[in-house]
Structure 1
């Protein structure tokens, strides 16, 4: 998968306005939201067929090696941030608790989480490429269910074949996304839209900006695969809001 920013690979975070590329640059705090890039290497584009009823993930395909991409908002402290008068709290919200498992019934997705952090060189480390059924959460951002936009990324494919977010672009508005959290609670999100953006014109602010309600962003690579630069040309982003929660 890949995330917005200038051409690059491994996810990194950069200031808003940048676009996904092969690396995500970590922005200055005062610069506002940034973007994360991810790098995609060898491979062909993922299967374009819509998902079959929850059963198989996808047919076998050539062995591309494509790293997913993420975008992460500014780091937030675990403590409750001050209320912005311009963005009063909206809708339900939960206390902080790290995510442990992602479930998307309509896509037959049931995957564990790994935490993502910014590594040496200011780039966000992507999920391990040797596990296709793994999603990453930007651990310095809000947890799923807290107020704000929580960022989750997954590969569309890897060198061994299809990966967890292969069919993300087929997710429909109204579909549910369940996130099981470390405290045993479950945050259920409802999908608002799923959109594909060119990396060259990725809407950083729309995807990564802070929000007064609890929201979710699921991000992966999409669009044509450019064999010259070994990267997908687009990013697929699913926008969702917290619909309900259940205590553990």
Structure 2
């Protein structure tokens, strides 16, 4: 898609009022959560194997809105029709759920699953360093905790996002990439649809993943994964 300037209502940094609302919301929801010890695994199936075995993208990729007009490129923004050059992400912002957090790179751990960000930092997102970077052509995978032993974490409210919400990611090269949410879905970890979640349809895609569903006290893990499907709609120099 061609670049377009993101709307101020979704891509701007959270307003002070919204930022101040986050602790209150987190505390309120905290009473409904059982905070758990999160181990070295994010409970996310490995993207490497899934991407290698993914079938034809036309079948598995999430559908993009067909009625949306093609945006015209901005003179001040890079073209994004075929994705941007590789550049590591530095910060993620999701105004609708008051997320404003730095990144840490993640790898596939000994368990065969994607490692999680350190559990001692509640405001930290991780990105799969061996996959596409946000804005690059392909599927970029970002994971974060929903909670930890000490309280709510960065993706506590991820499941409340709706289609049309915006996600902004600032990259090391100084470009702010903007993604539009297509859908938010919950999948059982026992039957995670690797091909669908990680499929590459030739455009810049984003997947935000966290834990969800019921907490299994015996396994000390959530039974589901919440996945946000999104595609890039714009980019601008920060």
* TM-fit CA distance, 1:202: 1.2
Of the two structures, which has the highest relative contact order with CA contacts closer than 8 Å and spacing of 6 or more?
2
Give the number of equivalent residue pairs: 186
- Pick one of 64, 82, 95 that aligns with 2:36: 64
Q: Which runs of 5+ in 1 are unaligned?
A: 1-51, 76-84
1:240 aligns with 2:230: yes
Aligned to 1:183: 173
* TM-fit CA distance, 1:94: 1.1
C-alpha deviations, 1:47-74, integer Å up to 9, x for none? xxxxx96522411445422354445533
Distance 1:98 1:161 in 2: 28
What SS does structure 1 have at the residue aligned with 2:196? helix
* 1:184/1:201 CA distance change after superposition, 3 Å: same
Distance 2:157 2:113 in 1: 26
* TM-fit CA distance, 1:209: 2.0
TM-score, normalised to structure 1, is 0.69
* TM-fit CA distance, 1:121: 6.2
* TM-fit CA distance, 1:201: 1.6
**Larger proportion of helix:** 2
Matches for 1:69-108 after TM superposition, within 5 Å? 69-74=43-48, 91-108=81-98
* TM-fit CA distance, 1:123: 4.9
Aligned to 2:139: 149
C-alpha deviations, 1:190-216, integer Å up to 9, x for none? 000000011122111001122211000
* TM-fit CA distance, 1:228: 1.8
Q: Which runs of 5+ in 2 are unaligned?
A: 1-16, 50-55, 59-79
**Larger proportion of strand:** 2
Distance 2:35 2:229 in 1: 29
Aligned to 2:210: 220
Q: Confirm or deny: 8 A CA contact 1:156 1:165 kept in the other structure.
A: yes
Aligned to 1:193: 183
Aligned to 1:127: 117
* 1:175/1:86 CA distance change after superposition, 3 Å: closer
* 1:102/1:71 CA distance change after superposition, 3 Å: farther
* 1:201/1:185 CA distance change after superposition, 3 Å: same
Aligned to 2:9: none
> How much is the aligned-residue C-alpha RMSD, in angstroms?
2.4
TM-score, normalised to structure 2, is 0.71
* TM-fit CA distance, 1:224: 0.7
